[in-house]
C-alpha cells in the first residue's frame, strides 16, 4: 500500500531477425554454447530488454541502451534465429553512400 510509485521504466526492444545468418569477422556472433542454461544471454544494469525478433525470447536483460549490442549478432537460444539491432542495415547503406561521395570531391581530372 505504501509502495513507491516510481517504477523504473523498462524499454523492450524487439531485435531484427537476419534472414540469411551470414556473419563476418567484423560482426561478433553471440551464441550460447551450453544449451542446458536458461534465461537471457546477458544481464546488465541498464533498462533496455532486448528480445528475439522471431519468438520474443529475452536475449539481453538490462542493456544500457537498445543499440548497445552495436553490430553484434545474437543467436536466439530458443529458436536459433540470428538477431541484430533494428536499423543497422540502413546505417551501413548510408556509410556506403558517403564513401562514394568523398572521392568525387577530389576528382579534378
Q: Long-range pairs for 2-8 at CB < 8 Å and ≥24 separation?
A: 8/47
Radius of gyration (C-alpha) of the chain in whole angstroms = 18
Identify the CA nearest to 75 among candidates 13, 26, 24, 23.
23
Q: In the bound complex, what is the minimum distance in angstroms from residue 48's beta carbon to Zn ion?
A: 17
Q: In the bound complex, what is the minimum distance in angstroms from residue 72's beta carbon to Zn ion?
A: 16
Which residues are near Zn ion by CB under 5 A?
A: 52, 54-55, 57, 76, 78-79, 81
State the DSSP code for 104: H
Q: In the bound complex, what is the minimum distance in angstroms from residue 79's beta carbon to Zn ion?
A: 3
> Are 48 and 13 contacting, i.e. CB atoms less than 8 angstroms apart?
yes
Judged by beta carbon, residue 47 or residue 56, the one nearer Zn ion is: 56
Judged by beta carbon, residue 44 or residue 57, the one nearer Zn ion is: 57
Judged by beta carbon, residue 39 or residue 103, the one nearer Zn ion is: 39
Amino acid at each position: 500500500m505504501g509502495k513507491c510509485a516510481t517504477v523504473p521504466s523498462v524499454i523492450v526492444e524487439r531485435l531484427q531477425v537476419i534472414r540469411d545468418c551470414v556473419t563476418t569477422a567484423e560482426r561478433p556472433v553471440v551464441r550460447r554454447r551450453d544449451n542446458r542454461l536458461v534465461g537471457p544471454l546477458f544481464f546488465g544494469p541498464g533498462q533496455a530488454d532486448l528480445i528475439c525478433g522471431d519468438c520474443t525470447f529475452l536475449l539481453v536483460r538490462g542493456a544500457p541502451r537498445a543499440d548497445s549490442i552495436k553490430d553484434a549478432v545474437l543467436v536466439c537460444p530458443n529458436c536459433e534465429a540470428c538477431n541484430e539491432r533494428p536499423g543497422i542495415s540502413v546505417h551501413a547503406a548510408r556509410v556506403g553512400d558517403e564513401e562514394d561521395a568523398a572521392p568525387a570531391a577530389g576528382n579534378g581530372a
